[in-house]
């Protein structure tokens, strides 16, 4: 899997009259681990979901290695792509949900193998063999035949990460991956994510885990009211915040 | 429904623990009490109710069995007569075709209704509205007289030239008419059942499938539909049982199904009307029972993953109860 650079250009999004994204510009170089922090309602999830076009931007666009996602250039305008084309683009972007969203009627193995089979990127046997390896990688080789409901929250989220890896995406998006977990289960998920971070895949993580941001991230972005307040290395943003809004937010986190 | 454990508790009370007789509790320290086995709540009302109902049911059975009016010998004569079995087969065939076609039609209509295309969704809504409004018998009679209303069926440009034309009369035999009429009606109801099932699937499932880039059809067939079926099946089986009995209306398009056969035999052998009706009743009960058993196993299949432990089959439940009762009995023998 080759890492991918993500660029967000002037992202605007309105929910009715609420301006949830008010012009976000962000460049994430290939292989970067970026964490997006911010108070609830800051637009973090919306921004992340715009990257794989689960959320449509009203103005602006996202590009992967320079290629716009969900839209195409037509002279000086942007036109939305067909659903088929968007689905094809999404195969290069992994997504991990806060609430796991595993397919409850499929076993852990079938969950991981489903996308390669559905997109015919691998034969059934290849997909199952690859899924077994991925489950092994997230430490769940022995739970391959369990259904999601028979797994703990931490195990479910690790299966979900394996599922997101199944199509070898160049970038993986995490939407508050540990927020739905009991505190003692957070560690096992963060460990898997740290392993991923060291492989050079581009990761964009919306999280409240400052510890993860400090240790694993190359870039920390603070979002507030749909705008980027501050961005930089963890050392800069977390330890020497320049903006008063950042200081206020960090003071609430401790 | 009481759980398996509650049921055994009601029928097989555990050995009564020895609670000290002194109500003041003076001699009963917390240590003594804490060692006592808790006595489950008794339900004398249930026993009384069960007794009353049993007596009543026994009386009904007795009256039906001994009343000469039912002519059980004639019932025995008719029950497996080839003419009755032929009618039964017609009922089964019409039901099977309609069940399958109605469900497929229902899926198409439900998808149309849920689609973002306003024309499709309005059309689907209008279809459901129309065919839920018209009594099934009216639909069947319309179809039966279709050749009188439209002697020719032709395909062409509206108000323009005709490209293809066929004489309607004798195009469709009674069987096909019956299946068409029932399917038109059934798919309207099935559409609502399927739509409800699809809406019951969590939004996160659609998003997860979309985020993995699964093709649309695959998302529906492999992710959404299997989960929707969990709530579709009980409702659709309910529909199906209504359909089995609804097929008795095909008599009116001169198709001799189970009920139609019984009806026409009754006209010929007027002394046997009551036993003939009993024959039809018992066959309908048997058909409904078979469907209910099939429903149990289909539901069980689609419940995989939805519950941590599969519910026991009736057989496993009986075996479990016997085993539990036995262990209680032997335990009592030992103490």
User: Is A37 part of a structural domain of the chain?
Assistant: yes
Taking all residues of chain B, what is their mean pLDDT, rounded to a whole number? 84
Task: Say if residue A181 is in the same domain as residue A78.
Answer: yes
Q: What is the DSSP string of B45-78?
A: HHHHHHHHHHHHHHHHHHHHHH-GGG-HHHHHHH
The reply to whether A82 and A180 lie within a common domain is: yes
Q: What is the pLDDT of residue A200?
A: 86
Same domain? A211 vs A191: yes
Give pLDDT, residue A203: 96
**Chain A hits for B202, Cβ within 8 Å:** 101
C-beta separation of A235 from A228 below 8 A: no
The two three-digit tokens of residue B183, written as one number: 């399917």
Let me know if residue A200 belongs to a domain: yes
Based on the domain organization, do A15 and A64 belong to the same domain? Answer: yes
- For residues A182 and A218, membership in a common domain is answered with yes
ipTM of the prediction: 0.93
Say what the pTM is.
0.78
The CATH number that applies at residue A212 is 3.40.50.300
Are residue A182 and residue A67 in the same domain, yes or no?
yes
Question: Cβ contacts of residue B135 below 8 Å, gap of 6+?
Answer: none
B333 band by pLDDT with thresholds 50, 70 and 90:
low
Specify if A226 maps to a domain: yes
Compute the distance between CA of residue B232 and CA of residue B102 in angstroms, rounded to an integer: 13
Same domain, A64 and A114: no
Q: Are residues A191 and A80 in the same domain?
A: yes
* Of the candidates B298, B312, B297, B257, the residue with the CA atom closest to the CA atom of residue B280: B257
Cβ of A91 within 8 Å of Cβ of B204? The answer is no
Instruction: Give the residue from chain A lying closest to B309, CA to CA.
Output: A150
- The answer to whether the Cβ–Cβ distance between A119 and B215 falls below 8 Å is yes
Using a CB-CB cut-off of 8 Å, the residues of chain A touching B209 are 103
Q: Taking the CA of residue B328 as centre, how many other CA atoms within 13 Å lie in the half-sphere pointing to its CB? A: 16
Phi, psi of B221 (to 5 degrees): -70, -40
pLDDT at residue B91 in the model = 92
* pLDDT at position B168 over 70: no
- Architecture label for domain B75-318: Orthogonal Bundle (1.10)
Partner-chain residue, chosen from A88, A105, A147, that has the shortest CB–CB distance to B213: A88
Q: How confident is the model over A69-81, as a mean pLDDT? A: 89
Last residue of a domain, one of A145, A168, A191: A168
- The domains of chain B are located at 75-318
Domain span at A40: 6-92+175-253
Q: How far is B231 from chain A (nearest CA, A)?
A: 14
Query: Are residues A72 and A13 part of one domain?
Result: yes
Residues of B in contact with A95 (CB under 8 A): 208, 211-212
Count up the domains in chain A and report the number.
2
pLDDT tens profile B267-294: 999 888 889 999 999 999 999 999 999 8
Mean pLDDT of B174-192: 92
Residue A90 has its nearest CB partner, among B211, B222, B307, at B211
What pairing do the DSSP bridges indicate for beta strands A227-232 and A219-224? Answer: antiparallel
In the three-class reduction of DSSP (H, G, I as helix; E, B as strand; rest coil), residue A99 is classed as coil
């Amino acid at each position: 899997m080759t890492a991918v650079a993500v660029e967000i250009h002037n992202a605007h999004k309105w929910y009715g009259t609420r301006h949830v994204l008010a012009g976000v510009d962000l460049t994430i170089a290939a292989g970067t681990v970026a964490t997006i922090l911010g108070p609830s309602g800051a637009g973090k999830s919306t921004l992340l979901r715009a990257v794989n076009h689960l959320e449509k931007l009203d103005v602006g666009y996202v590009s992967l290695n320079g290629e716009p996602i969900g839209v195409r250039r037509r002279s000086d305008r942007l036109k939305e792509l067909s659903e088929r084309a968007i689905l094809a683009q999404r195969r290069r972007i992994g997504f991990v949900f806060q609430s796991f969203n595993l397919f409850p009627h499929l076993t852990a193995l079938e969950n991981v193998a489903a996308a390669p089979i559905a997109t015919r990127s691998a034969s059934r046997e290849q997909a199952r063999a690859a899924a077994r390896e991925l489950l092994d990688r997230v430490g769940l080789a022995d739970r391959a035949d369990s259904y999601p409901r028979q797994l703990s929250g931490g195990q479910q989220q690790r299966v979900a990460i394996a599922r997101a890896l199944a199509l070898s995406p160049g970038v993986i998006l995490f939407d508050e991956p540990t927020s739905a977990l009991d505190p003692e289960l957070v560690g096992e998920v963060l460990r898997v994510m740290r392993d991923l971070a060291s492989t050079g895949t581009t990761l964009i993580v919306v999280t409240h885990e400052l510890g993860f941001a400090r240790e694993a991230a190359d870039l920390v972005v603070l979002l507030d009211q749909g705008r980027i307040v501050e961005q930089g290395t963890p050392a800069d943003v977390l330890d020497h915040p320049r903006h008063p809004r950042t200081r206020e937010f960090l003071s609430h986190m401790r | 429904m009481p759980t398996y454990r509650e049921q055994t508790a009601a029928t097989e009370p555990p050995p009564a623990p020895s609670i000290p007789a002194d109500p003041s509790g003076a001699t009963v320290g917390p240590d003594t009490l804490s060692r006592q086995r808790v006595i489950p709540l008794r339900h004398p009302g249930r026993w009384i109710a069960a007794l009353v109902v049993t007596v009543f049911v026994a009386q009904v059975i007795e009256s039906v069995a001994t009343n000469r009016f039912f002519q059980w010998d004639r019932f025995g004569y008719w029950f497996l007569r080839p003419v009755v079995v032929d009618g039964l087969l017609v009922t089964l065939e019409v039901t099977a075709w309609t069940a399958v076609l109605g469900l497929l039609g229902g899926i198409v209509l439900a998808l149309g209704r849920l689609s973002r295309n306003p024309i499709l969704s309005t059309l689907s809504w209008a279809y459901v509205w129309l065919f839920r409004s018209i009594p099934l018998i009216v639909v069947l009679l319309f179809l039966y007289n279709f050749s009188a209303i439209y002697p020719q069926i032709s395909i062409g440009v509206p108000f323009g030239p005709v490209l293809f034309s066929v004489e309607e009369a004798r195009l469709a035999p009674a069987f096909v008419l019956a299946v068409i009429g029932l399917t038109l009606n059934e798919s309207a109801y099935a559409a609502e059942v399927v739509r409800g099932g699809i809406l019951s699937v969590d939004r996160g499932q659609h998003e997860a499938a979309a985020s993995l880039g699964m093709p649309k059809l695959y998302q529906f067939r492999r992710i959404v539909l299997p989960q929707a079926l969990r709530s579709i099946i009980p409702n659709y089986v309910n529909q199906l049982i209504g359909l089995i009995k609804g097929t008795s209306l095909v008599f009116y398009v001169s198709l001799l199904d189970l009920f139609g056969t019984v009806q026409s035999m009754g006209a010929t052998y007027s002394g046997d009307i009551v036993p003939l009706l009993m024959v039809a009743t018992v066959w309908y009960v048997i058909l409904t029972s078979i469907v209910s058993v099939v429903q149990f196993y289909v539901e069980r299949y689609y419940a995989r993953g939805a519950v941590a432990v599969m519910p026991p089959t009736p057989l496993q439940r009986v075996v479990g109860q016997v085993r539990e009762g036995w262990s209680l009995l032997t335990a009592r023998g030992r103490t």
